[in-house]
Structure 1
Amino acid sequence: VQVAESLFYLAPLGGGDGFVAAGKGLNAFVRRTIALDGDPDLVGGVRGSFPIDGEYGRWAYLNWAAKFAIDSFIAEKAL
């Protein structure tokens, strides 16, 4: 999502519609990984890694990942 938000900001500086489309695709992927129901401790959490057992943030739902996701979703909505 950090990359997606960067693409949204760079699009008007020369990245164009391709950057916007790529950013929207990245955000859509992350949104599909966020649990909307189930374990209350995981609902709304953003995984620290994909797959969840990847090297960074293994088996964790990181608070800063959720913050960056929200920032990127807001930037996308503002387009």
Structure 2
Amino acid sequence: MQLTEKIKIHPAEEQVDVLWTISNLCRLTYNFALTERQEAWKKENRRVRYVEQQNKLPEIKEKFPQYNMVYSK
């Protein structure tokens, strides 16, 4: 049973740059969130929930406008 289909895309040079930028911003967002969870557990022995981090995203996007490129749903 095949559940996915691979589609090869051929983006233009400008599109490649945008895709890399978005990919890097998503990577950084994930890594910062993971670090926040790990540090909270190590130092305070408390859990940081997804909703708590999700509610911080608008504040982060105001502070760092380049993160507005990232789709947040």
Q: TM-score, normalised by structure 1?
A: 0.33
- TM-score w.r.t. the length of structure 2 is 0.35
- Max radius of gyration: which structure? 2
